[in-house]
């Protein structure tokens, strides 16, 4: 029940049965864009920007996913923006809705409790936690069920969608994001040839009330499945005391260039199922960003995670703007001095310290 783009009958469609796609020096990769029909203007803006700055020359396919059927208007306005193959998929209900075994009373309590945080943290009066004012862009999302569905889908299901089966690498794109610079090489090929599994541009601290018991679950998982932990891991990105406490650091997942075979592999499959069974996607509001980041940090070698310093990127309210030669070579439309990189709530320093 996925619909494939009907506006570009000449475009090569991705293989749906795992037969190899012809690669011609390219990687087996695609863009992935989860969106609602209402997100259309922001989607058009992001796609146009990516096409202008990168994909016009590379023609990687676009896969759009939605929990409701995309409208004809959506498909038409998106398809016109690119010569690359475009497909539009419907997410199976079982990959999206709150599972039956979740205790709805407990989940509702969790949502109410989290909305209470709005009063403590988001009431508008500046307090000790003033930094957190910036980390929550929309306080209403704290109590939202669809937002939880989205986080769980991005954590454990997107890479299982039939339209993504042919592909290994993906680049996640969201509405209203900006790619500031020309990207004059192929990041997918680069990931593959350097044996990377996860690439990011911005890292930051999670809002603690959304993940109060996540780390306890992670520690339980580590003690039950020690053989799945990579010896050369990056625990020091996640914890400042060798794993006792979570420092809330994560890679911001609205930008991801990563290897879906990593998510499809044994370690992550076990990890997601373990976390899912805890119910924390609904009883709390575990985000796909901390879940992906913790997994990449524990199951991949630290040198398999890559900071794309040369890719200028913005998702409200933060941006990464390259500097120096990278800024000029990329003709970046951003201010180098306006970068989240080394500000107070950034975790980039911790990432860099992994390699000191």
Nearer to Mn ion by Cβ, of 5 and 254: the residue is 254
* Backbone torsions φ then ψ of 6, nearest 5 degrees: -105, 5
Confirm or reject binding of residue 137 to ligand GDP (CB under 6 A): yes
Please report how close the Cβ of residue 90 comes to ligand GDP at its closest, in angstroms.
10
> Facing residues of 318 across strands?
315
Closest to 86 (Cα-Cα) out of 154, 14, 148, 142: 14
Count of positions (residues) in the chain: 356
Q: How far is the CB of 150 from Mn ion (least distance, A)?
A: 10
- The H or E element that residue 64 is part of is strand 62-66
Instruction: Compute the least distance from the CB of residue 77 to ligand GDP, in Å.
Output: 15
Which of residues 36 and 302 has its CB atom nearest to ligand GDP in the complex? 36
Instruction: Considering the complex, state which of residue 5 and residue 149 has its C-beta at the smaller distance from ligand GDP.
Output: 149
Our finding on whether 50 is near ligand GDP (CB under 6 A) is no
Which residues in the 153-182 window bind Mn ion by CB under 5 A?
174
**Cβ-proximal residue to ligand GDP, closest one:** 146
Q: Which long-range contacts (CB under 8 A, 24 or more apart) does 212-218 make?
A: 212/284, 213/278, 213/280, 213/284, 214/246, 214/275, 214/280, 214/284, 214/286, 214/290, 214/291, 214/294, 215/245, 215/246, 217/274, 217/275, 217/278, 217/280, 218/246, 218/275, 218/294, 218/298
- The interface mask with ligand GDP, positions 228-267, x = CB under 6 A, is --------------------------x-------------
Beta carbon nearer to ligand GDP, 21 or 211: 211
CB of 122 to ligand GDP, least distance (A): 14
Quote the CA–CA distance of 346 and 30 in Å, as a whole number.
Answer: 28
Q: Which partner from the list Mn ion, ligand GDP, none does 150 bind, CB cut-off 5 to 8 Å by kind?
A: ligand GDP
Distance CA 341, CA 352 (A): 11
How far apart (Å, rounded) are the C-alpha atoms in residues 253 and 255? 5
CB of residue 177 vs Mn ion: minimum separation in angstroms?
A: 7
Torsions phi, psi for 205 (to 5 deg): -90, 135
256 is catalytic: yes
Question: Which residue in 11, 27, 34, 86 binds ligand GDP (CB under 6 A)?
Answer: 34
* DSSP strand pairing (203-205 vs 249-251): antiparallel
Q: Which of 162, 174, 192, 261 binds ligand GDP (CB under 6 A)?
A: 174
Task: List the helix and strand counts (H, then E) for the chain.
Answer: 15, 13
Cα–Cα distance for residue pair 283/286, rounded to 1 Å: 9
Binding residues for ligand GDP, rule CB under 6 A, total 14
When CB distances are held under 5 to 8 angstroms depending on the partner's kind, the choice from ligand GDP, Mn ion, none that residue 137 binds is ligand GDP
- Name the CA dihedral angle for 220, 221, 223, 228, rounded to a multiple of 10 degrees: -170
Spatial contact of 327 and 338, defined as CB atoms under 8 Å apart: no
Place of tokens 């006792």: 244
Asked if 27 is part of the footprint of ligand GDP (rule: CB under 6 A), the reply reads no
Among 45, 67, 162, 192, which residue sits at the site for ligand GDP (rule: CB under 6 A)? 67
Candidate residues 83, 146, 185, 349; the one interacting with ligand GDP per rule CB under 6 A: 146
Any contact of residue 39 with ligand GDP (CB under 6 A)? yes
Our CB check for ligand GDP shows the closer of 31 and 215 to be: 31
Chain residues in the site for ligand GDP (CB under 6 A):
34-36, 39, 66-67, 137-138, 146-147, 150, 174-175, 254
Q: Catalogue the active-site residues.
A: 256
């Amino acid at each position: 029940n996925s619909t494939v783009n009907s506006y570009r009958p000449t475009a090569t469609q991705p293989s749906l049965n795992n037969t190899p796609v012809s690669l011609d020096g390219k990687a087996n990769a695609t863009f992935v864009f989860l969106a609602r029909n209402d997100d259309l203007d922001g989607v058009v803006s992001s796609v146009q920007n990516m096409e202008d700055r990168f994909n016009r020359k590379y023609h990687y396919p676009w896969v759009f996913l939605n929990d409701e059927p995309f409208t004809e208007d959506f498909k038409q306005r998106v398809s016109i923006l690119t010569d690359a193959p475009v497909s539009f998929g419907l997410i199976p209900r079982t990959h999206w809705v709150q599972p039956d075994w979740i205790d709805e009373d407990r989940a509702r309590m969790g949502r109410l409790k989290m909305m209470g945080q709005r009063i403590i943290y988001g009431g508008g009066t500046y307090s000790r936690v003033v930094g957190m004012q910036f980390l929550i862009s929309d306080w209403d999302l704290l109590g939202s069920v669809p937002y939880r569905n989205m986080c769980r889908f991005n954590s454990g299901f997107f890479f299982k969608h039939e339209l993504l089966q042919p592909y290994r690498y993906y680049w996640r794109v969201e509405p209203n994001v900006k790619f500031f610079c020309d990207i004059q090489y192929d990041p997918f090929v680069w990931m593959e040839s350097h044996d990377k599994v996860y690439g990011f541009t911005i890292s930051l601290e999670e809002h603690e009330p959304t993940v109060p018991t996540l780390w306890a679950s992670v520690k339980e998982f580590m003690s039950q499945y020690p053989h799945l932990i990579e010896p050369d891991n990056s625990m020091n990105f996640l914890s400042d005391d060798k794993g006792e406490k979570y420092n809330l650091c994560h890679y911001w997942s609205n930008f991801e260039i990563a290897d879906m075979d990593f998510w499809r592999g044994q370690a992550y499959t076990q990890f997601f199922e373990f976390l899912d069974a805890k119910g924390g996607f609904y009883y709390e509001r575990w985000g796909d960003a901390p879940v992906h980041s913790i997994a990449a940090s524990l199951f991949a070698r630290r040198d398999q995670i890559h900071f794309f310093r040369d890719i200028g990127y913005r998702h409200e309210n933060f941006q990464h703007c390259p500097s120096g030669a990278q800024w000029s070579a990329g003709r970046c439309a951003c201010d180098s001095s306006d970068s989240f990189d080394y500000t107070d709530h950034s975790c980039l320093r911790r990432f860099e310290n992994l390699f000191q």
